[in-house]
Copies of this chain bind each other. A is one copy, B any other.
Amino acid sequence: MLKKIPKRLSPELVKTLMEMGHGDEILLADANYPAATNNKRVLRTDGILMPELLKDILELLPLDTYSDYQACLMAVVPGDQAVPNGRPPIWDNYESAIKAAFPDYKLKLIERQAFYQYSHDCFAIVQTGETALYGNLILKKGVVQ
């Protein structure tokens, strides 16, 4: 542990976030995500939930001001009855955390099968302990000046 760096972030995760460059994207995946199948670099944070991890990461990671989106979500499958109003509850948490860091943020929604494919090109996948539905979130790194 070090001063200024949130305690939940492992040395390997901080190193990975530092090595990312402008435009690189990282997937914070839920606990059931097929991570190893979709990316060579997988970091596990078993037992850590997304709301707390997201808040910690955004303390360090700048979002991309040059892009027309700062984060990506997996679009709700049309007719998925497990999501009553078509709006996964955990997204409220995500959006307020992102908004606090980047008020004018925009989200990109990606269809489910395309999302798996998309995650092949992420810089890394963090496999969290989150089990909320549609809990996967991709962040796009910006620049530090």
Contact = CB atoms under 8 A, between A and B. Distances in A.
Interface string A1-15: 111110111111111
Interface in A46-103: 46-48, 52-53, 59-62
How many identical subunits does the complex contain? 10
A116 to B, nearest CB: 8
B143 A32 contact: yes
A31 B1 contact: yes
A92 to B, nearest CB: 20
A53 to B, nearest CB: 8
Interface residues of A, number: 48
A38 to B, nearest CB: 8
29 contacts: A1-B31, A2-B17, A2-B18, A2-B60, A3-B60, A3-B62, A3-B144, A4-B4, A4-B5, A7-B144, A10-B18, A10-B46, A11-B14, A11-B19, A12-B15, A14-B18, A20-B34, A21-B34, A21-B36, A21-B37, A21-B127, A22-B34, A24-B34, A31-B144, A34-B123, A36-B123, A45-B47, A46-B48, A131-B145
